[in-house]
Amino acid sequence: MARNPLRDRVAIVGIGSSPYGRDLQRSELSLGLEAAVNAIADAGIDRQEIDGICGSGMTSLAMGNAGFLSLQGALGIERCTWGKNGWLGSALVYTVEAVFSGLCDMALLVQANVRSPGMSRAAARDPFRARAAQFAGIGGDVGLGDFAKRWIHSGEPYAAIMRRYCHDFGVNKDAFAMLAVNTRSYGALNPEAVFQSPLSLEDYHASRMVWDPMQVADMDVPCDCAEALVITTAERARDLNVKPVFVHAMALGGTRIGEYYENFAGWRDNSFQVSMSGLWDRSELRLPDIDLFYPYDGYTMDAIAITEAAGYCGIGEATDYFRTSWDSSRNILMLDGRVPVLTDGGGLAHGRAGGANLYAEAARQLRGNLGNRQVPGAQSALIGIGSFFHDPAAVILRA
């Protein structure tokens, strides 16, 4: 077992969200601030207790939008001893490591997402979105004139990887379909979900082809939204009037394959495999101890690969495993007959929140007051968020 001195020493004590909507006509910062204010109120703390902020974005020190510097100023927080931006799975991991290491005692994590001009025609016509995108740091040597750079930080290779998956393991897209249908079944239970209507397996297969073989039902739904968490030490958490949710263990997962996604490292050596094995090396818990599962579903391919990396089934075996896990009376997955998956509706139905929706949903489930989608008695959640190439986090939260 690997060293894990932070075991159960860091806790989530505040959870706050903004509304989710296709066009809320608000800035990214505004959405982040609403989530932040709600999380601070939920924790029952004075905002001046916050001394560290993890803002939103893939450029860790970028200014503007819902970056940490803008958040601190806009929230009127006088002193912070730690700040950084993060996105996808890494944002929570960065924040927890900052609290654990003593760089700060009460950290605010804010992840805001907006429908960017590249995501839809309506968004591209919105001059506010266009201008925001023009000035956003894109953090690298992306695309533009050279076709050979088209797959740098691109979604398209996930479609090629999906085809390679079906080829290498001799399967069709049934596992992808079940994952998508599962999220839409939960979306119907989540009043904030962008997609409130359920999807059938037939609907999935009939959905529009975007990047063959990836269909629109394989892709998360772009929306305007924000989530925020307040994270502090377990010791401080005991003094607050909330039920804490503890960070049991976590790991990130880098590989030698960087931003040129055509160099995909294969099924055994990708970042999901590294982060999940790193997590299990740091915990005495095993899958039978896990009550809830949140595999990031930016694309269905991500969630399939994370499920396999977590060890629920072997690599390439998700199709058979999902078939034996399918509850056809509710159109949901119940892994090993017991573990629900993406209970908020995930990115595919709740909305594209970069995985922050999964951290928030897991924490709310573990508090245990989530109304008609509460999973009774849930005590632990396994969360995997990120991509085959960057920011893959594997995290276990416990009540």
Partner 1 sequence: MSEPDDAEVFAHYPDVHIDRDNIAHYRGLMGGRLLINRCSDCGHWIYPHRPLCPACLSWNVVPTEVSGRGSLYMWTLIYQSRDPDTPLYEPILTAAVELAEQPGLRYLSRVVGCPPEALRHDMPLRLTWIEEAGRNWPAFEPAG
Interacting residues with partner 1 (CB under 8 A): 118, 121, 124, 141, 144-151, 156-157, 159-161, 163-164, 167, 208-214, 256, 258-260, 262-265
- Looking at the Cβ atoms of 107 and 219, the one nearer to partner 1 is 219
Task: Report d(CA 307, CA 335) in Å as an integer.
Answer: 10
Min separation Cβ 188 and partner 1, Å: 27
Task: Report d(CA 222, CA 126) in Å as an integer.
Answer: 15
- Looking at the Cβ atoms of 68 and 151, the one nearer to partner 1 is 151
- Looking at the Cβ atoms of 210 and 240, the one nearer to partner 1 is 210
- Looking at the Cβ atoms of 156 and 235, the one nearer to partner 1 is 156
Cα angle 154, 155, 161 (rounded to 5 degrees) comes to 110
Task: Report d(CA 153, CA 80) in Å as an integer.
Answer: 31
On whether the CB atoms of residues 261 and 308 are closer than 8 A, the answer is no
Cα angle 373, 377, 382 (rounded to 5 degrees) comes to 80
What's the chain's length in residues?
Answer: 399
Task: Report d(CA 319, CA 328) in Å as an integer.
Answer: 15
Q: Which of 332, 329, 361, 331 is nearest to 346 (CA)?
A: 361
Min separation Cβ 268 and partner 1, Å: 13
**258-269 burial code (b ≥16 CB/10 A, e <16):** ebbbeebeebee
Could you give the strand order of the β-sheet that contains 10-17, starting from the edge strand earlier in sequence?
82-86, 52-56, 106-113, 225-233, 10-17, 245-252, 393-398, 380-385, 292-295
On whether the CB atoms of residues 350 and 192 are closer than 8 A, the answer is yes
- Looking at the Cβ atoms of 79 and 167, the one nearer to partner 1 is 167
Q: Which of 3, 232, 238 is nearest to 98 (CA)?
A: 232
Task: Report d(CA 51, CA 17) in Å as an integer.
Answer: 20
- CB neighbourhood size of 370 (10 A): 17
Min separation Cβ 315 and partner 1, Å: 17
Min separation Cβ 378 and partner 1, Å: 38
- Looking at the Cβ atoms of 69 and 136, the one nearer to partner 1 is 136
Task: Report d(CA 397, CA 377) in Å as an integer.
Answer: 14
- CB neighbourhood size of 330 (10 A): 13
Min separation Cβ 386 and partner 1, Å: 20
Min separation Cβ 179 and partner 1, Å: 19
- CB neighbourhood size of 37 (10 A): 15
- Looking at the Cβ atoms of 131 and 330, the one nearer to partner 1 is 131
Peptide bond into 213 cis (omega under 30): yes
- Looking at the Cβ atoms of 149 and 367, the one nearer to partner 1 is 149
Min separation Cβ 329 and partner 1, Å: 35
Min separation Cβ 175 and partner 1, Å: 18
Min separation Cβ 297 and partner 1, Å: 19
- Looking at the Cβ atoms of 73 and 128, the one nearer to partner 1 is 128
Min separation Cβ 122 and partner 1, Å: 10
- Looking at the Cβ atoms of 136 and 375, the one nearer to partner 1 is 136
